[in-house]
């Protein structure tokens, strides 16, 4: 096992899949000569040439659509959005074309494409550059939505996403690129649609994805010192959702708190809460609760930015409410 | 005509139209006339089915514009790609999709080309390299550029034709698709079917410069612009653009001026244009024009009548097929495609 960064894990996944399959190429802004705005594509241009590592001008709608057209006729594009914030000008391509073509063509044209890039709040970049769009994309049938929290998951899931026959929205944690994890040196794949129990515990289930898994793990450590054992379930994939792993955990602990960094209204956690209450009603000892960001555009000032997002203390407080300790 | 050099902008409409006949033979023209006639009869059958409540949703007919899709697609080879709009029954037929599977789709039947899941606006046929009808204006232009990008990536020498109305020239999908196709030299022919009304809005109220082909100049690519009533002329002019794409990989922006005789869709009575204007264009009917030309160049009238009878039978058979086919019955298997086990 080697300890590598989340960034390096993603780079390895793309490099390995491009070695493996000639049809895989990467296209996006600054992915080639600049080596990626976040350096995720470092060195790929030198290895694979301009034919397969394609610098695109600022035209997300255009190059997302080009990826979809190329995928329809058999290529396997990886489309990098510099950040998911910029995907909104391409959302018509993702929702109206990529997601629908398989059904709209009566099963004739599938779209094997990965849309990837950083998402979720960054650091002090204010409202237009610090947003979580997973709930938007998870709403759409025909898409798969993947949000890894660790380097290990990032590599195994990205490799699987590239091999998937359908469009995959792969949202990387913008603040996770430097985080490290043990990653095997031999090839491995992680299936899309499988949650992962990141920490076992008997008292309460914390459900999260991407960056919030780390917040929950930190909160679990704080609570362990007080004798409260949290189980942390990392969804890893939002669509398709592995609700069985979540429900098994909640049936064991009897309590659930869903922690997400997105906005509260119609956030993905609401769907998880609905499914948990439906499947676990007879096992619940407290209402299913959610911790989310505040219902505001992201402020710039560091103190306000922190205040808006779920912090360890917010998760600790929610756990104590669910345990009727406060 | 088509040139990548900067020329004097021609901001006027094509008036008077250039009606000089293009050299052709009965062997070349008769099959194209047959396709146009079949498309018109198919569209008329669709209108009838719609008025009987057997076809639902939106139905956009191409009656009056048949020479554009038929002439353009006649310039392609069978393994070339076509990407079209929601007014695409004619393009699909010209690319080889059967009237049976198109009409059955409009009727929402299991035997439709997309199993009753797409309807009028989403005709697809992978076996004919017909990459679909798209309902979001301009959103399909990048898709066409993508199919062309794949051809360039593989070096397979295929050409993609992308059809859109002049109404698409004002939206971003067109602008970005055109820009990237020019930048990356993608073998795509962008064909603007300028029928002069974007739904009910005439050109002068949607475009500051009423010549869509001029956009090519800003991107340094070839352009062409002409009247689209003569199917042979359309074929000849498109053949130049297709040849350019195939041999040099470079795109062309082609604007073909045409006119739809019916409303934007079945629910549109077309009150935004005068009866006189519509009648004037009907006198330029591409079908009547081709029919007269066929007789003029020596195609026997008896053969013409036989051809027309054959078309009538084909469409009657297609309507019967659509009417008698079983209803659409499943949709769940087509949301996502299962993994290929061998790929793992």
Q: How far apart are the first and last CA of chain B?
A: 52
Contact yes or no for A105 and B153 at CB 8 A:
no
pLDDT at B340: 65
**What is the pTM (predicted TM-score) of this model?**
0.96
Fold type of domain A2-183: Rossmann fold (3.40.50)
Residue of A nearest to B145 (CA): A66
pLDDT in tens, chain B (344 residues): 444 443 444 444 455 667 788 999 999 999 999 999 999 999 999 999 999 999 999 999 999 999 999 999 999 999 999 999 999 999 999 999 999 999 999 999 999 999 999 999 999 999 999 999 999 999 999 999 999 999 999 999 999 999 999 999 999 999 999 999 999 999 999 999 999 999 999 888 998 888 999 999 999 999 999 999 999 999 999 999 999 999 999 999 999 999 999 999 989 988 899 999 999 999 999 999 999 999 999 999 999 999 999 999 999 999 999 999 999 999 988 999 998 654 43
Convert the pLDDT of each residue in A309-325 to its tens digit.
999 999 999 999 999 99
pLDDT at position B68: 98
Which residues are CB-contacts of B7 (< 8 A; sequence separation ≥ 6)?
B217
Which member of A8, A17, A29, A60 is catalytic?
A60
C-beta neighbour count of B204 within 10 angstroms: 10
Angle among Cα B279, B284, B285 to the nearest 5 degrees reads: 90
3-state SS string over chain A? Answer: CEEEEHHHHHHHHHHHHHHHCCCEEEEECCCCCCCCCCCCCCCHHHHHHHHHEEECCCCHHHHHHHHHHHHHCCCEEEEECCCHHHHHHHHHHHHHHHCCHHHHCCCCCCCCCEEEEEECCCCCCHHHHCCCCHHHHHCCCCCEEECCCCHHHHHHHHHHHHHCCCCEEEEEECCCCCCEEEECCCCCCCCCCCCEEEECCCCEEEEECCHHHHHHHHHHHHHHHCCCCEEEEECCEEECCCHHHHHHHHHHHCCEEEECCCCCCCCHHHHHHHHHHHHHHHHCCCCCEEECCCCCCCCCCHHHHHHHCCCHHHHHHHHHHHCCCC
pLDDT tens digits, A158-189: 999 999 999 999 999 999 999 999 999 999 99
Query: Is A139 annotated in the active site?
Result: no
User: Which DSSP state fits B14?
Assistant: -
Could you tell me the two tokens for B245?
Answer: 């794409």
Tell me what pLDDT residue B165 has. 97
Chain A contact present for B143, CB below 8 A: yes
The CATH T-level fold of domain A196-322 is Rossmann fold (3.40.50)
Per-residue pLDDT tens for A255-284? Answer: 999 999 999 999 999 999 999 999 999 999
Calpha distance A37→A227 (Å, rounded): 43
Nearest residue to B84 via CA among B30, B153, B131:
B131
- Which of B149, B157, B174 to probe the A interface (max A CBs under 10 A)? B149
Q: Which residue has the tokens 């629908």?
A: A100
Catalytic annotation present for A60: yes
Q: Kindly report, as residue ranges, where domains of CATH 3.40.50.920 are found in chain A.
A: 196-322
Q: In which residue ranges of chain A is CATH 3.40.50.970 found? A: 2-183
Looking at residue A104, what is its pLDDT? 96
The SS3 call for residue B93 is helix
Q: Can you list the domains of chain B with their CATH numbers?
A: 26-313 (3.40.50.970)
pLDDT digits (tens, 9 = 90+) for A59-103: 999 999 999 999 999 999 999 999 999 999 999 999 999 999 999
Given CB atoms, is B109 within the 8 Å cutoff of chain A?
no
pLDDT at B3: 44
| pLDDT tens figures, A133-148 | 999 999 999 999 999 9
Within 8 A of A72 by CB-CB distance, chain B residues are 131, 143, 146-147
Per-residue pLDDT of A203-249, as tens digits, reads 999 999 999 999 999 999 999 999 999 999 999 999 999 999 999 99
CB contact under 8 A, B145 and A66: yes
């Amino acid at each position: 096992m080697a300890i590598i960064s989340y960034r390096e894990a993603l780079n390895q996944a793309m490099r390995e899949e491009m070695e493996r399959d000639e049809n895989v190429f990467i296209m996006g802004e600054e992915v080639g000569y600049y080596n990626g705005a976040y350096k995720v594509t470092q060195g790929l241009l030198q290895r694979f040439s301009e034919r397969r590592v394609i610098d695109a001008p600022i035209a997300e709608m255009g190059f997302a659509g080009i990826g979809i057209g190329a995928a329809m006729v058999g290529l396997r594009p990886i489309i990098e959005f510099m950040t998911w914030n910029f995907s909104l000008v391409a959302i018509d391509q993702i929702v109206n074309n990529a997601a629908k073509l398989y059904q709209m063509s009566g099963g004739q044209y599938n779209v094997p494409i990965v849309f990837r890039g950083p998402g979720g709040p960054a650091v002090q970049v204010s409202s237009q550059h610090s947003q979580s769009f997973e709930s938007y994309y998870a709403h759409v049938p025909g898409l798969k939505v993947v949000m890894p929290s660790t380097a290990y998951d990032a590599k195994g899931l990205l490799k699987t996403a590239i091999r998937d026959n359908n469009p995959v929205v792969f949202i990387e944690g913008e603040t996770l690129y430097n985080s490290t994890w043990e990653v095997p040196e031999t090839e491995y794949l992680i299936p899309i649609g499988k949650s992962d129990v990141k920490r076992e515990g008997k008292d309460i289930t914390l459900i999260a994805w991407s960056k919030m898994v780390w917040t929950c793990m930190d909160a679990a450590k704080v609570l362990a010192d007080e004798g409260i054992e949290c189980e942390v379930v990392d969804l890893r994939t939002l669509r398709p959702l592995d609700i069985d792993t979540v429900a098994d955990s909640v049936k064991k602990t009897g309590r659930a708190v869903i922690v997400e960094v997105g906005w509260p209204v119609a956030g993905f956690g609401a769907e998880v809460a609905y499914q948990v209450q439906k499947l676990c009603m007879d096992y619940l000892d407290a209402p299913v609760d959610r911790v989310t960001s505040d219902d505001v555009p992201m402020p710039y000032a560091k103190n306000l930015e922190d205040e808006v997002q779920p912090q360890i203390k917010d998760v600790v407080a929610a756990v104590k409410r669910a345990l009727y300790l406060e | 005509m088509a040139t990548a050099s900067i020329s004097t902008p021609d901001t006027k409409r094509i008036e008077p139209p250039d009606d000089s006949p293009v050299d052709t033979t009965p062997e070349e023209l008769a099959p194209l006339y047959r396709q146009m006639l079949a498309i018109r009869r198919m569209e008329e059958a669709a209108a009838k089915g719609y008025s009987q409540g057997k076809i639902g949703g939106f139905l956009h007919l191409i009656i009056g514009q048949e020479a554009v899709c038929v002439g353009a697609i006649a310039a392609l080879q069978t393994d070339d790609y076509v990407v079209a709009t929601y007014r695409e029954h004619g393009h699909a037929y010209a690319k080889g999709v059967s009237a049976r599977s198109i009409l059955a789709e409009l009727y929402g039947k299991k035997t439709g080309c997309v199993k009753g899941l797409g309807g009028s606006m989403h005709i697809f046929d992978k076996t004919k390299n017909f990459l679909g009808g798209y309902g979001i204006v301009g959103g399909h232009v990048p898709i066409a550029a993508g199919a062309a990008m794949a051809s360039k990536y593989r070096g397979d020498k295929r050409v993609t034709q992308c059809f859109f109305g002049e109404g698409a020239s004002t939206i971003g999908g067109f602008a970005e698709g055109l820009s990237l196709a020019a930048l990356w030299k993608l073998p795509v022919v962008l064909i603007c079917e300028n029928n002069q009304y974007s739904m009910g809005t005439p050109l002068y109220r949607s475009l500051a410069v009423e010549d869509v082909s001029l956009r090519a100049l800003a991107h340094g690519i070839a352009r062409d612009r002409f009247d689209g009533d003569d199917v042979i002329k359309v074929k000849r002019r498109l053949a130049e653009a297709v040849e350019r794409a195939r041999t040099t990989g470079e795109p062309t922006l082609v604007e073909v001026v045409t006119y739809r005789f019916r409303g934007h869709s079945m629910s549109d009575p077309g009150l935004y244009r005068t009866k006189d204007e519509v009648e004037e264009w009907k006198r330029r009917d591409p079908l009547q024009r081709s029919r007269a030309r066929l007789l003029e160049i020596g195609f026997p009238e008896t053969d013409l009548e036989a051809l027309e009878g054959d078309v009538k039978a084909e469409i009657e058979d297609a309507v019967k097929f659509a009417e008698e086919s079983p209803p659409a019955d499943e949709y769940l298997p087509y949301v996502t495609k299962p993994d290929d086990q061998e790929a793992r």
